[in-house]
Amino acid sequence: MGTVGTMQRVGAVLIDIDGVLTVSWKPLPGAVEAMERLRERGVPLALVTNTTARTRESVAAALSGAGFPVTADDILTAPAATAAHLARHFPGARCLLLNSGDIAGDLEGVTLLGPEDDTPAEVVVVGGAGPEFGYAELNRAFAHLQRGARLVAMHRNLYWRTDAGLQLDSGAFLTGLEQAAGTEAEVLGKPSAAFFATALARLGADPAGTLMVGDDIESDVLAAQRQGLTGVLVRTGKYRPETHRDASGTPDHVLDSFADLPRLLERPDG
């Protein structure tokens, strides 16, 4: 991928939230100030996240309350992208949702089965893991898949970082469902090409002039580079040196944290 030069040549910036701007919704050092500098220079940006525990409105409220200059219009979540996909490809379909957290606000127009509804689901939708991913819930999803339901996943992250350390995410369970049911999930959050295309369309941005800043080298950075964006890996959040070393490719840029992004963009040589 080509490198990006001065701040003026950057068409837009896509920014992951968890592990890049915050950990457990607490700002990482220098992150608020760095975003303020981007705003001052008028850089178009979108916050792109696989977070499935909060709606766009809730995410925006948490971030603005922490001092970040953002609104719900700046945020694209995996649930919102999933809802748009279901509306296009499975209009009116009965969906079984397996997710930790209330994301109904980002699933407008999606028909969800209630907890006691035994009506056959046409689509099983897997979000983010949590206490709700017990045996009974996973087995219920498995039963619907055996009856022919399609499997859609908001992401397939294996873990994420909280202030208590790395926590298991739904990717581990998703692989089990795929293997048991003999099916393959359609993934709609990062690292899918559709998710990056949706984010670029929202900003009216071209891939060649857009940065993607993330802490997940595969799902954030290399996935974006495969779509023609410039990837920026930060050494915060879920970043681990061994994952970086064993990755399937090389990031265009590596920074200690998001706080260093304005300085990178202001470099004469990019």
What is the full DSSP assignment across 156-188? Answer: ---EEEETTEEEE-THHHHHHHHHHHT--PEE-
Range with lowest mean pLDDT among 56-60, 61-65, 104-108, 245-249: 104-108
| C-beta neighbour count of 105 within 10 angstroms | 16
Q: Is the pLDDT of residue 3 over 50?
A: no
* DSSP 8-state assignment for residue 85: H
Domains 12-50+192-265 and 90-187 in one fold: yes
Section 259-268 average pLDDT: 88
* Residue of 159, 141, 158 whose CA lies nearest to 150: 141
**Average predicted confidence (pLDDT) for the chain:** 92
Pick among 3.40.50.1820, 1.10.260.40, 3.40.228.10, 3.40.50.1000: CATH of 12-50+192-265:
3.40.50.1000
Q: Can you give the C-alpha Rg of the chain in angstroms?
A: 19
Who has greater pLDDT, 157 or 137? 137
pLDDT beyond 60 at 8: no
Using CA atoms of 256, 32, 59, 160 in order, give the dihedral in degrees to the nearest 10.
20
Tally of CB atoms within 10 A around 214:
32
The Cα 92–Cα 67 span in angstroms is 39
pLDDT per residue as tens digits for the range 33-60? 999 999 999 999 999 998 898 899 999 9
pLDDT band for position 113 (cuts 50, 70, 90): very high
DSSP summary character for residue 3? P
Residue 100, Cβ density class (10 Å: 0-12 exposed, 13-18 middle, ≥19 buried): middle
Rounded Cα distance between 170 and 228, Å, is: 28
pTM: 0.79
Q: What percent of the chain has pLDDT over 90?
A: 79
SS3 (DSSP) at 83: helix
Beta bridge partners of 75: 47
Per this entry, what is the length of the chain?
Answer: 270
Does residue 191 have a cis peptide bond before it, meaning omega lies within 30 degrees of 0?
yes
User: Rounded to whole angstroms, how far apart are CA atoms 63 and 107?
Assistant: 21
Q: How far is 23 from 28, CA to CA, in rounded Å?
A: 7
Cα distances (angstroms) measured from residue 16 to each of 33, 34, 88, 217 = 16, 14, 25, 12
pLDDT at 127 over 60: yes
66 backbone dihedrals φ, ψ, rounded to 5°: -90, 0
Q: With cut-offs at 50, 70 and 90, classify the pLDDT of residue 268.
A: low
Domain boundaries, the chain: 12-50+192-265, 90-187
What angle, 0 to 180 degrees and rounded to 10, lies between the N-to-C axes of helices 78-89 and 193-203? 100
Cβ neighbours for 137, distance < 8 A, ≥ 6 positions apart: 98
Provide φ and ψ at 234, rounded to 5°. Answer: -110, 145
- The closest alpha carbon to 107, from 71, 76, 140, 81, belongs to 81
Measured CA to CA, the distance from residue 253 to residue 160 in angstroms comes to: 22
Note the CATH architecture for domain 90-187: 3-Layer(aba) Sandwich (3.40)
